Each structure stands twice: as structure tokens, then as C-alpha cells.
Chains A and B, each alone.
Chain A
Amino acid sequence: MELKRVVVTGLGALTPIGNTVEEYWDALIAGKSGAAPVTHFDPEKFKTKFACEVKNFEVTDFIHRREARRMDKFSQYAMVASDEAIADSKLDLESINKLRVGVIWGAGIGGLETFQEEVINYANGDGTPKFNPFFIPKMIADIAPGNISIKYGFMGPNYTTVSACASSANAMIDALNNIRLGHCDVIVTGGSEAAVTIAGMGGFNAMHAMSTRNDDPKSASRPFDANRDGFVLGEGAGAIVLEEYEHAKARGAKIYAEVVGGGLSSDAYHMTAPHPDGIGVIAVMKNCLQNAGMQAEDVDHINTHGTSTPLGDVAELKAITEVFGEHAKNININSTKSMTGHLLGAAGAIEAIASILAIEHGIVPPTINHSTVDENIDPSLNLTLNKPQKRDVKVAMSNTFGFGGHNACVLFKKLD
């Protein structure tokens, strides 16, 4: 059977550097950092006192108070970004066959704040369980796509993929394959995360995974810089409407790009450390190219996982050199996490949006905060440092890797 072609027809973003797709893109090109002192709780006693939080966001501007209080923040973010993407797609919600519209979402954790609050509440009591009836349905990672389907009546496949920081890339690949196989006409995909909480910050700090550059939060996320000292925790959501090509063409939809392939692999090595030789990362990029039926030389741009950790950044760039050979130096490589921080389960989605918009606008956003060369990084690589670069991007790759050794890679192509 011939696989269907899949295209992007709608985008939505709620990020630490912009609350709409337009604001997000403008901030990416301006090289804006989303890092600032934590406001969601008092971080005084925490090793890291800053994060990339969503800003100037009042949920009741978007969702009725009654509905909003039944949702954890990760669900609220999902709803707001999906609303934008669905509106952007201009799908006719009256005439569309909703049995063939799915929602496949990504979340690395889910309702962490809800979990935390309920357990604190129990611990402060006399031992009598007084859990709120909304505790479980607010917290579970699959509730975000559930809520989206309830609002829009989309009755196709509906679930959340969980693979830590690769979650929303896994979701996009599942969405791609469901449409390719003819199971759905349209799938709202993407991911959301809201882990800037005491449990999230405390937990990641305990792993020594996060930057502690408290004297200068804005420059803390510095992928590929010699003095990088860990990732900066971010939060928010990215939503992408994927649609079967003929379905999109028939209704005259605006098509941003084609999704031409997805790759998946596992490091099978360590719970949190990347494999030093990057074998899983090499495998995932090769799988992705093969899945798309493309050659390494076709790729113009790679939005890396690039979290600004000492080990991960170098391992990923070595893997890129291994997969792309001589062509690696022709590729515009970047890490938009230098601006957004690391949105965990939403990272794959917002970075895919950055790649799609790089194709759309012919500009690659920069890797900001780079000042000191790392001797372990091949100097011939173009890491798109500090300033955006004009580039006619025909094919863009987006990498995401999650704790547990999960690797996912998605390939987007300018429509011919």
C-alpha cells in the first residue's frame, strides 16, 4: 500500500519567549532569552533560582474559570496552543469528519504541580485521605489530549506519548504514521509541560542536570559554549496540525511544510547519561533519513537537542559528524534551547515549529550565549552562533533525546 503524504497546516505556541507563534518566531530571530528568576514559587533555598517560565499569561483570558480549575497547568498550556493551531489551520469544524481527526500529544511528566499539591495537603493533615476528586484526572499525562478532544469533538486516536524530553517528537511521529497509513485525515499533535514547580526544580537540581548560573540567568542556557553548566528548565506548549496532503489541498489549506520522516532509537545504556559514542543518536538520525527516503546531503538545517549540558552537546555534534560526514559543515546547526530553555516533553514540538518556520521564512534562528570555544567541538561546524542566518532551508531535521535513552528525530521538507 502506498503511504499518504503528510503536511503541516496549523501551528500554535505558548513559550517562555512568546505566547503566540508570531511572538515566538520574532523572539527566536531577535535572539531573546526566556530565562528569569522563578516566580511560580519561592526558590530561595534552591540551587537553581531561575527558569524559563511562560510570562504574562492569565489562563482565564483563554479558558473559562470553571474549566481552567479542572486542569493542571500542562493541560491549560496544551489547550491554549491547540486552540491557536486549530484556528490557524482554518479547518471547517462543521464539515470535517471528526471520526478521522485525532489528538496525539506529548508530555514528559504531566500534572506535576497537581501531584505535588495533593501530596503536600495529605502530609499536612492527620492521615485521613482527603484527596480532591480531580486529583487523578488533572494529573495524568493523557488528560491534555483528552481535554482537547472533548472541546472539539475529535473522535480519532487520542493518547499521550511519554518518553521524557523526546515525548512530543514521539507524538509527532505517531501522528505522521497514523495519517500515512490512512487511519486519520487530521491529527492535532505537539506537547506541553509545566514542571517549574518545587518538585520539578528540586528533582532536576538533585541530578546536577541544571545550570546554577544564578548571577546571570539570561546567559545560562549556552549550548556548545565551553562554559555551559547544564540545562535551564522551561515550560509551555507547542501544537501542530498535521494533515493528509490531498485533504489539505482539496480545502485550499495553507501548507507550511511536509513531514517526510521520523526516526526512533534507544541508547540502551544509562538512565540519564548520553552514550559517549552517541550510538543511539547516530542510529536515530540514520533511521529518520531512511524513513524519509532522503540522503544526508539533502539536509540544510538541524535543530539539535542541544540542552547546554557538558556531555550531551558534544556527543550529539560528534554523532552529526558521523552521520553527515563532509556535508556536516554545510548544515546550519542550532539549538533554540539557548533561548527557550528546555521544555522537556514540549521541546520536540516547539523546536519542530522553529524548524518549520525556518523553512517558511528562509532564516535559521541563532544559538545565543556563545562566547567561549569548546576545544572538543569540531570548529568547521556552523552552529549558527549568536545571530540568525539567512538560508534557503529545503529540508530541516529536529532532534530530541530523553532520559531513559529515548531518541526521536523528525524531518520536515519545503513543499515542492
Chain B
Amino acid sequence: MSDIASRVKAIIVDKLGVDENEVVAEASFTNDLGADSLDTVELIMEFEKEFDIQIPDDQAENIATVGQAISYIEEAKK
């Protein structure tokens, strides 16, 4: 697992209070990990802070799964 992937997963485990084993690439924040609309906003903010990036709202809407978050951040950090 890449460094980015492990940091993303750590944030999700911390913020959503879920078990690490549930945080798989295809897991949806809302459907699988129990996040509500406020949780997803907070997750995006935490990703921005952790990786020192800006995620515009229109792009944040497309980040719905763990895998999508990791790919977006890996792309942004290139």
C-alpha cells in the first residue's frame, strides 16, 4: 500500500470510527462506511489539510469511495 493510501485510510478510520478492515478501495463513504453529508465534508477538509492540497467543491462531489479519494490525491500530488 502506498504512503498516500495508508494516510487516507488512517483519516477515514479516525473520522468515521470504522474498523480498518472495512476501509477497502471500493468502499463508499456513505453507503458502506456510514458517513453522512457532514462527515463527507469533513473528510475532504482533512484530506486537504493532510496533503496540503485544495479540492474544489465540484471535484469533491466525485470523491465517493476510498479508492477515488486515493487516486485523486495521488494525481494532485504528482
The reply to whether the CB of B38 lies closer than 8 angstroms to some CB of chain A is yes
> Which residues of B have CB within 8 Å of A65?
17
* Contact residues of A: prevailing secondary structure: loop
Rounded to whole angstroms, the CA-CA distance of A70 and B42 in the bound complex is 11
Query: A134 — nearest CB in chain B belongs to which residue?
Result: B38
Q: Are B41 and A66 in contact (CB under 8 A)?
A: no
In the bound assembly, the distance between CA atoms of A31 and B17 in angstroms comes to 41
Chain A residues closer than 8 Å to B18, beta-carbon distance: 66
State the Cβ distance, B16 to closest chain A Cβ, in Å: 6
Residues on B facing A (Cβ under 8 Å): 15-18, 34, 38-39, 41-42, 45, 49
User: B45 — which chain A residues lie within 8 A by C-beta?
Assistant: 130, 132-133
Please indicate the chain B residues that have their CB under 8 angstroms from the CB of A64 in the complex. 17
B41 touching A133 by the CB < 8 A rule?
yes
**Interchain CB contact under 8 A, B42 and A132:** yes
- A137 contacts the other chain (CB 8 A): yes
In the bound complex, do residue B38 and residue A133 qualify as a contact, i.e. CB atoms below 8 Å apart? yes
CA distance A65 to B13 in the complex (A): 11
Binary contact readout A46-87 vs B (1 if CB under 8 angstroms, 0 otherwise): 000000000000000000111101100000000000000000
A133 engages B42 (CB within 8 Å): yes
* Residues in chain A near residue B39, CB distance under 8 A: 133
Which residue of chain B has its CB nearest to the CB of A132? B42
Docked CA distance A66–B41 (Å): 16
Closest to B38 in A: A133
Q: Chain A's nearest CB lies how many Å from the CB of B41?
A: 4
By beta carbon, the residue of chain A nearest B49 is A130
Mind listing 13 A-B residue pairs with CB under 8 Å? Answer: A66-B16, A66-B18, A67-B17, A70-B38, A130-B45, A130-B49, A132-B45, A133-B38, A133-B39, A133-B41, A133-B45, A134-B38, A134-B42
Contact code string A75-115 (vs B, CB < 8 Å = 1, else 0): 00000000000000000000000000000000000000000
Shortest Cβ distance from residue A127 to the other chain B in the assembled complex, whole angstroms: 15
Chain B hits for A66, CB < 8 A: 16-18, 34
Q: Mark A206-230, 1 if CB is under 8 A from B, else 0.
A: 0000000000000000000000000
How many Å from the CB of B10 to the closest CB on chain A? 15
Inter-subunit contact B38/A137 (CB<8 Å) = yes
Closest to A66 in B: B17
User: What is the CA–CA distance of A64 and B42 in the complex, to the nearest angstrom?
Assistant: 19
**CA–CA, A103 to B49, complex, Å?**
38
B39 and chain A: residue at smallest CB distance: A133
Contacts of B42 in A (CB 8 A): 132-134
Q: What distance in Å separates the Cβ of A184 from its nearest Cβ neighbour in chain B?
A: 29
Closest to B44 in A: A133
Complex Cα spacing A137 to B38, Å:
10
* Interface pair A69/B17, CB less than 8 Å apart: yes
| 7 nearest A-B pairs in the assembled complex, by CB-CB distance | A66-B17, A133-B41, A133-B38, A65-B17, A133-B42, A134-B38, A132-B42
A65 to B17 alpha-carbon distance, docked (Å): 6
Residues of A within 8 A of B16 (CB): 66
**Nearest chain B CB to A151 CB, angstrom units:** 15
A134 to B17, CA, bound (A): 15
**In the complex, which residues of chain B have a beta carbon less than 8 angstroms from the beta carbon of A132?**
42, 45
Contacts of B41 in A (CB 8 A): 133
Residue interface bits A238-264, CB-to-B below 8 A is 1, else 0: 000000000000000000000000000
**A137 and B39 alpha carbons, distance in the complex (Å):** 12
Chain A 359-385: CB-based contact to B (< 8 A → 1; otherwise 0): 000000000000000000000000000
Q: How far is the CB of B69 from chain A (nearest CB, A)?
A: 17
* Distance A411 CA – B9 CA, assembled complex (angstroms): 55
- Give the distance in Å from the alpha carbon of A137 to the alpha carbon of B49 in the complex: 22
Nearest A residue to B54 via CB reads A128
CB neighbours (8 Å) of B17 from chain A are 64-67, 69
Given contacts A65-B17, A130-B45, A133-B45, 14 further A-B contacts (CB under 8 A): A66-B16, A66-B17, A66-B34, A67-B17, A69-B15, A69-B17, A70-B38, A130-B49, A132-B45, A133-B38, A133-B41, A133-B42, A134-B38, A134-B42
